[in-house]
A and B are shown apart, each in its own frame.
Chain A
Amino acid sequence: MRHIQKIILLALTSILSAQTLEAADFTFFVRQIQMPDEAAWDVSVAQQGSQQSPLAINPNGARFELWTVRSNPLTSYLLDTTYVNSYVPVSQIEITSEDPYSVIPRTRADRPFNITVTVSGMSTDPTAPPAALSVKLLRHVQAYTGNDNGSNVNRAQAILLSQGSLNNNGTHTLSYAVTSIPGADRTKVRGEERFSVFSLADYQAPESQLASKFIQIWPLSDISITGITSGEVVKAKAPTINVHLNDLYPDSYTYAQVYEGAPVLGTMGTKVPGASITVDNTVPQSEKIMLKDWDEVLTTDGLWTLEIITVTPFGTDRLGYLSFTVDRSIKVNGTVTSLE
């Protein structure tokens, strides 16, 4: 029997921090499952690091599973799994986007992302078993229900959108302009896309997962402004305005700015004091900002434009705007008469 030592690479700390739930509530387990009898070994591991498994792998291969278990309520989550065998290729998947956040790859519903699949150990002998000559590549998509952020997702309901095969060693790159997660309003799509590499079934083992990664897709932000309407004339004190910000990107800075004149995209205006918010989270956030006592930035009479701007890893987006007129001049109608 060929002795294979599987290097278990764990980045548990980062996975832990990826959870939106309390980190201290999770405990990790790694199981090595010997095929085909499913004998299981609990691999004691540190929270972070790597080690070699001393348990020699059966001729039928072994499956390594990374689990996290939540204490209350007692629930287990399968985070990752990979199958290794003496002749089945080895594969890794990396997903990148414009957002450098590394815990769980993420991007926005309007932005591109790239998948890099690396395959090694594939045989070049045409007489080798089919499982040594090819691997399957699968793409699953799954929308999060309502405003869920992935904590309650049932991955059994993921949709297998497309599949193909890779027949040679090396790095294969796939580029996607936008997500294909289902959703009627494309700006409000939220969910995940999963890319997986599977071995082919043969007499030793069924189709087994060699690698799998997913990217989370978050919706675009949208806003609503109350307290002022487009075309309104501000005659005295500037009104108090509420700006409702929905689905702010997890890494974003959003602010209100004003400038004189009609709306012109790209204009650098004056930021309204106190009317900004920074989001540093793992999931989108909905907030409200208030423009109150902001007369000091309306320095002259005339046409003004209010814009709501958000800055994210994808650049600067104008979420909405309106124009209004400031007219504070006081006209006194009077006559001057003489007694003469």
Chain B
Amino acid sequence: MKPFSPLILALFSSLSAITSLNAGLEDRSKAPMRDAATHDQLAKSLRMAQQNDPIRETGPAIGKHEEDPASRNSSRDLIKDSTILCYRGFLTLVPKRAVLHLPEKLKDRFEIQPNIKVQPWPEFYQANRGWIRTIEVTREQAMGEEAMSEEVVESFKTSTSAIVATFKGGPISVLPVKEPAEDLPENSGETGTNGEEALTAEKKTASQP
């Protein structure tokens, strides 16, 4: 890796200039007046700057440098990656797989309504305790490393409230329970009773008359 010392030394001098300029608003007008920079001046500065991009003075680009890893973030959307809870003009977002049970009669409260105000989970839950119940899960249960007890699962299957899994009060995804590796047949997917599958199953149950 190339040394940074010359760069740092150069920076110190420019930082000193910056500091003096930032000395205070009242000092601004005391600086020597100049004419506004022109396109030609800036085009020349740009050519010089592009020839000396300090990033290229660091180590050579490594890894998958033909790909832009930042592009993955630019297409992200929290709304699409969340389950929506919406009621009486307020809406909140919880992670997918955090809703463990959704009674059919509350289904319309999981759809976007017009003219809403987004709330953080604590505020929304505080105002909607009447139809939302939370179940604290362990980290292991959330990660699918440990199944929730059958009694708990059975208790919320018949609940008339929506059931949201929480960890330390915050909604959390509950992944399907992972089968022990030795029991998994080749190329099989993960299966379990928690999370989205439980929700899906419950939706089917709830939709029955």
CB-CB contacts below 8 Å: B132-148 with A = 139, 142-144
A309 within 8 A of B: yes
Provide the bound-state CA to CA distance between A43 and B122, in Å: 10
Closest Cβ–Cβ distance, residue A319 to chain B (whole Å): 5
Count: A-B pairs, CB below 8 Å: 253
CB-CB contacts below 8 Å: B75-108 with A = 75-79, 81, 91, 93-98
A162 touches B78 (CB 8 A): no
A196 touches B70 (CB 8 A): yes
Contact with B172, one of A40, A175, A311 (Cβ below 8 angstroms): A40
Provide the bound-state CA to CA distance between A158 and B68, in Å: 10
Contact with B55, one of A43, A162, A209 (Cβ below 8 angstroms): A162
Contact with A164, one of B31, B48, B55, B116 (Cβ below 8 angstroms): B55
Q: How many residues of A contact B (CB 8 A)?
A: 96
A40 touches B33 (CB 8 A): no
Looking at B72, B112, B169, the one whose CB has the most chain A CB atoms below 10 A away is B72
Q: Tell me which residues across on chain B come within 8 A of A31, comparing CB atoms.
A: 78, 95
B62 touches A156 (CB 8 A): no
A176 touches B142 (CB 8 A): no
B53 within 8 A of A: yes
B183 within 8 A of A: no
A134 touches B62 (CB 8 A): yes
Question: Which of these binds chain A: B15-23, B151-159, B198-206?
Answer: B15-23
CB-CB contacts below 8 Å: A157-208 with B = 158, 160-168, 172-180, 185-187, 194, 196, 198, 200-201, 206-208
Question: Which of these binds chain B: A135-143, A231-239, A292-300, A324-332?
Answer: A135-143
Q: Tell me which residues across on chain A come within 8 A of B50, comparing CB atoms.
A: 180
Provide the bound-state CA to CA distance between A155 and B73, in Å: 9
B187 within 8 A of A: no
Closest Cβ–Cβ distance, residue B163 to chain A (whole Å): 16
A55 touches B32 (CB 8 A): no
Query: Chain A: which residue is nearest B65 at the CB level?
Result: A163
B59 touches A164 (CB 8 A): yes
CB-CB contacts below 8 Å: A110-168 with B = 110, 112, 114, 130, 134, 136-140, 154-156, 158, 160-168
A178 touches B46 (CB 8 A): yes
A41 touches B39 (CB 8 A): no
Question: Which of these binds chain B: A13-21, A66-74, A85-93, A282-290?
Answer: A66-74
Q: Tell me which residues across on chain B come within 8 A of A69, comparing CB atoms.
A: 78-79, 93, 118
Q: Tell me which residues across on chain B come within 8 A of A96, comparing CB atoms.
A: 18
B209 within 8 A of A: no
Contact with A318, one of B33, B69, B173 (Cβ below 8 angstroms): B33
B60 touches A40 (CB 8 A): no
Contact with A209, one of B10, B11, B59, B69 (Cβ below 8 angstroms): B69
A109 within 8 A of B: yes
Looking at B29, B53, B78, the one whose CB has the most chain A CB atoms below 10 A away is B78
Query: Chain B: which residue is nearest A221 at the CB level?
Result: B36
A98 touches B22 (CB 8 A): yes
Q: Tell me which residues across on chain A come within 8 A of B117, comparing CB atoms.
A: 71
Query: Chain A: which residue is nearest B24 at the CB level?
Result: A100
Contact with A39, one of B10, B112, B143 (Cβ below 8 angstroms): B143
Closest Cβ–Cβ distance, residue A152 to chain B (whole Å): 14
Provide the bound-state CA to CA distance between A120 and B10, in Å: 24
CB-CB contacts below 8 Å: A33-79 with B = 34, 37-44, 54-56, 58, 65, 67, 69-72, 74-76, 78
Query: Chain B: which residue is nearest A206 at the CB level?
Result: B69
Provide the bound-state CA to CA distance between A54 and B172, in Å: 13
Q: Tell me which residues across on chain A come within 8 A of B34, comparing CB atoms.
A: 265, 315-318
Contact with A200, one of B32, B41, B62 (Cβ below 8 angstroms): B62
Closest Cβ–Cβ distance, residue B107 to chain A (whole Å): 19
* Cross-chain pairs A/B with CB under 8 angstroms, 27 sampled: A40-B96, A42-B170, A44-B121, A44-B122, A55-B167, A58-B143, A65-B78, A71-B91, A98-B22, A110-B36, A110-B41, A134-B62, A140-B70, A167-B59, A176-B49, A178-B45, A179-B46, A186-B42, A187-B36, A198-B69, A206-B72, A207-B63, A222-B36, A266-B33, A309-B33, A317-B35, A318-B36
User: Can you add 17 more A-B contacts, CB < 8 Å, to A39-B174, A165-B59, A318-B33?
Assistant: A39-B144, A39-B173, A39-B175, A40-B172, A42-B121, A55-B172, A74-B118, A112-B18, A160-B68, A160-B70, A175-B54, A196-B70, A198-B70, A206-B69, A207-B69, A212-B70, A317-B34
Question: Which A residues have a C-beta under 8 Å from some C-beta of B?
Answer: 26-29, 31, 34, 37-44, 54-56, 58, 65, 67, 69-72, 74-76, 78, 81, 96-98, 100, 109-110, 112, 114, 130, 134, 136-140, 154-156, 158, 160-168, 172-180, 185-187, 194, 196, 198, 200-201, 206-209, 212, 220-222, 253, 265-266, 309-319
